[in-house]
Amino acid sequence: MKIWAALRQAVIGWVMLLRGEDGWRERFSFTAAGLATALIIFVFTTFLAVAITSASIGMPSLAGVIAAMFVLALPLTSLVVVLLGTRMTLKSQEPALDVMVPATYALTAFLLAEGFLAMLGGPVVMLAWLGLAYMLYQLARSATAWTTAISAGFAVLTVVLLVAMRLALYMLSTAAAGSPI
């Protein structure tokens, strides 16, 4: 039941964070165990997304499930790359867990929202990207001492990198499918 409690607290924390209320930090556990809990929820959500998507055609092999989960984990990868790059560029001593823990929960919500919007079709998926960018911006403003411009840049770069990595994987898979090898 600890997972459900952590998820409930994260939702409450994010509502408080987006409203600009104080006390949102108490809703998250900024420890390695707190990050591990957030990651477990994220991994479970990616597995559930693969299972639901595969329901009509049958579950893929283990390698297929892992590959699909890898693609669904790209938002997390882009977050880590941009967060570490921003901290390194700014020579910031901000604790990474202050951003990583709440952002992992935000990425879990993003996966769900993006999947739902993808079922509606086409460009409406961009709404999930805009929502994610806004959430990351608000988090960066609240959790760090970064300026408005740095926080906005962090949020935009995270989403741009996510989209670019997905596009690159799509191009590589299309090229590999058409390859005579």
Average pLDDT over residues 10-20: 95
- Of all residues in the chain, the percent with pLDDT exceeding 70 is 96
Kindly tell me if the per-residue pLDDT of 1 is higher than 60.
no
pLDDT tier for residue 52 given thresholds of 50, 70 and 90: confident
Predicted pLDDT of residue 179: 60
Predicted pLDDT of residue 76: 94
The identity of residue 119, as a single letter, is: M
Domain ranges (residues) in the chain: 2-177
- Mean pLDDT across the chain: 90
pLDDT tier for residue 178 given thresholds of 50, 70 and 90: low
Kindly tell me if the per-residue pLDDT of 9 is higher than 70.
yes
Angle between helices 2-19 and 97-120 (to 10 degrees): 90
Distance CA 171, CA 9 (A): 39
40 vs 116, residue with greater confidence: 40
Kindly tell me if the per-residue pLDDT of 143 is higher than 80.
yes
DSSP H helices in the chain: 2-19, 32-53, 62-72, 74-90, 97-120, 126-143, 148-177
Average pLDDT over residues 13-38: 94
142 vs 181, residue with greater confidence: 142
Kindly tell me if the per-residue pLDDT of 181 is higher than 70.
no
